[in-house]
Structure 1
Amino acid sequence: MIKFGIQRMEMVIIVIIYFLIGFISSLVGAMAGLGGGVIIKPVLDFAGHYDLATIGVLSAATVFAMSSVSLIKSGNLEVSVNVKVSSLIAVGSIAGGLIGKWVFNYFVVSLDVDSIIGVVQSIILALILMLILIYFRWSHFFKSYVLKNSLAILLAGLGLGFLSAFLGIGGGPLNVAVLALLFSMNGKEAVINSTFIIFFSQLSALFLVAFTSGYTDLDLSMLGYMIAGGVIGGFIGSSLLYRISEKVVSIVFTVTVFIVMVINIYNVFQYL
């Protein structure tokens, strides 16, 4: 009886932890346009409970739930989605996401080299986050653009989608940086448009898994709790976005990216 009680308590603690991972990641993601996946992926790597394929699905589903709620809530904001730019990037990111997920599945599922891909993912993500921090810290030294060529916008989306799907992060910080650099969007504009792009990229990633490797071999016992956390976190985060200033959005973005970069550097050594 005592053993059963201890096991039940351990299960309750595990459920709370995974709910909080979904909640906190989505809360911060909705506030800063990070999507949440860039936090969920390295945190689940750090926890070490799941393989890379399972982590990818847990992350994608949670981020999709968060982005859905955030887009519904964004109707209260004065900032709107740039439909042309974000739609073209979304289309490109879906195509790039399919390619990136195929490459990921090939190495992880077909070749079964989880540990090697885990190291590669963590190194690439840490480097990308470092470059993003440098860009936003010294953005006044960089010239921003306003791309209007449809092909160029599609190609930008293709690159974003490939990296996001291969790294399993949803694309948030990459989206925000590209939207600021190539389309001269301010913080809140980049957040809303990034969330719009994330919605479609994660939806395509979930469909791809469904029609390729499937979900039957994955341990998704924590999925419902993470999605619940993602919905609540997305709702609160998008509500806060309506109230906070551009400066606060920038601070949340920078601090979160720095913390996630440090976790990824640690994960590199954990995989080795």
Structure 2
Amino acid sequence: MEFILLAVIGLIAAIVGSLIGLGGGIVIVPVLIFLGTELGLLDGITPQIAVGTSSLVLVFIGLSSVISYNKNKQVDWKNGKYLLLGIIPGAMLGSYTSSLFTVDSLKLYFGLFIILVSFILLVRDKIKPLKIFQNDKYMRPHTDAAGQEHYYGFPPYIGVIGSLLAGFLAGLFGVGGGALMTPMMIILFLMPPSIAVGTSMFLVLFGSISSAAGHLFQGNIHFLYALVLIPAAYIGAKLGVRLNRKLESDTVIFILRMVLLLLGVYMIIDSL
């Protein structure tokens, strides 16, 4: 029974994560904790193991998503390489910081984080893109699958600082970093949303590799559960990319925002 639940969790998390560039850990971590510590359906789940196992699963969600998005030219490799300079060390640092969590403290801080993500999703399309970082010397063209050229850019140091923070949260909570990177790339770096989502999953891939490595060294990965989650997540990521091209993103984001808000409130109340 628990393996069926894990497969469903992996599938849903990957669909949601790859659809809008969040990664999927924002679903996997709280559900693992709920099934393990609240319902007792999963043995050996601690906050750190939930985060570490999620990080490993996100490696495959990121890989599957990047392969699919790259076919449609939705990954900006040139700008993405600068963002890796922050997200990789940030994720490693966050993975070691997560050892400070207890079950209740993780529920509290993760609940607050989920509500923050819900708020970001609420205002993402309402905030006008900021042109403060748009300087001619940083502008680079990116041609999408339709042959249309988009011009945008950012100072490398700003990208490194922002991705360092996103990477830290990726390692801390096992979420991949896409929750912050996607809106950051849209609002601050003026990336078109379709390219921001694909590039975000590229960052999720490497941020999760770094985070998973840190958790692996600490013994925070439940490999049996990961082996069930990974195949379902890999398939779910491909489905999420396909849905990204077909569904109205506003509808998807509205539903996700409400679910995250309720989940965040529940986790905070349950931690008190």
Normalised by the length of structure 1, the TM-score is: 0.82
Structure number with higher helix proportion? 1
Contact 1:60 1:206 in 2 (8 A): yes
Q: Residue 70 of structure 2: which of 66, 71, 75 is its match?
A: 75
Corresponding position: 1:239 with 2:235: no
Residues 43/137 of structure 1: CA separation in 2 closer, same or farther (3 Å cut): farther
* 219-228 vs 87-96, greater mean Cα deviation: 219-228
5+ residue gaps, structure 1, are 1-12
The residue aligned with 1:35 is 23
Corresponding position: 1:185 with 2:191: yes
Corresponding position: 1:148 with 2:148: no
The residue aligned with 2:91 is 97
The residue aligned with 1:163 is 169
The residue aligned with 1:222 is 225
Number of residue-to-residue matches in the alignment: 246
Residues 152/219 of structure 1: CA separation in 2 closer, same or farther (3 Å cut): closer
Contact 2:80 2:202 in 1 (8 A): yes
Contact 1:96 1:160 in 2 (8 A): yes
Contact 1:69 1:235 in 2 (8 A): yes
* 249-258 vs 170-179, greater mean Cα deviation: 249-258
Contact 2:121 2:253 in 1 (8 A): no
Contact 2:114 2:263 in 1 (8 A): no
Partner amino acid, structure 1, of 2:31: V
Shift of 1:177: 0.9
Contact 2:110 2:267 in 1 (8 A): no
Corresponding position: 1:249 with 2:264: no
Q: Residue 110 of structure 2: which of 112, 121, 126 is its match?
A: 121
Partner amino acid, structure 2, of 1:24: I
The residue aligned with 1:176 is 182
Shift of 1:171: 1.8
Residues 258/170 of structure 1: CA separation in 2 closer, same or farther (3 Å cut): farther
In the alignment, the residues of structure 2 paired with residue 232 and residue 73 of structure 1 have an alpha-carbon distance, to the nearest angstrom, of 11
* 89-98 vs 41-50, greater mean Cα deviation: 41-50
Corresponding position: 1:18 with 2:6: yes
Partner amino acid, structure 2, of 1:61: L
In the alignment, the residues of structure 2 paired with residue 114 and residue 237 of structure 1 have an alpha-carbon distance, to the nearest angstrom, of 31
Partner amino acid, structure 2, of 1:256: L
> What SS class does the counterpart of residue 224 from structure 2 fall into?
coil
Contact 1:96 1:158 in 2 (8 A): yes
The residue aligned with 2:216 is 210
> What SS class does the counterpart of residue 139 from structure 1 fall into?
coil
Shift of 1:186: 2.3
Partner amino acid, structure 1, of 2:23: G
What per-residue deviation string (whole Å, max 9, x for no partner) do you get for residues 172-220 of structure 1? 2211111111111222111101000000000011111223x125xx544
In the alignment, the residues of structure 2 paired with residue 33 and residue 52 of structure 1 have an alpha-carbon distance, to the nearest angstrom, of 24
Shift of 1:221: 2.7
The residue aligned with 1:10 is none
The residue aligned with 1:86 is 80
Partner amino acid, structure 1, of 2:246: I
5+ residue gaps, structure 2, are 135-152
Contact 1:18 1:226 in 2 (8 A): yes
In the alignment, the residues of structure 2 paired with residue 136 and residue 124 of structure 1 have an alpha-carbon distance, to the nearest angstrom, of 16
Residues 86/253 of structure 1: CA separation in 2 closer, same or farther (3 Å cut): farther
In the alignment, the residues of structure 1 paired with residue 254 and residue 192 of structure 2 have an alpha-carbon distance, to the nearest angstrom, of 14
In the alignment, the residues of structure 2 paired with residue 90 and residue 266 of structure 1 have an alpha-carbon distance, to the nearest angstrom, of 33
What per-residue deviation string (whole Å, max 9, x for no partner) do you get for residues 91-149 of structure 1? 201111122122112x13xxxx33223312222332x2243033225224x63554521
Contact 1:98 1:208 in 2 (8 A): yes
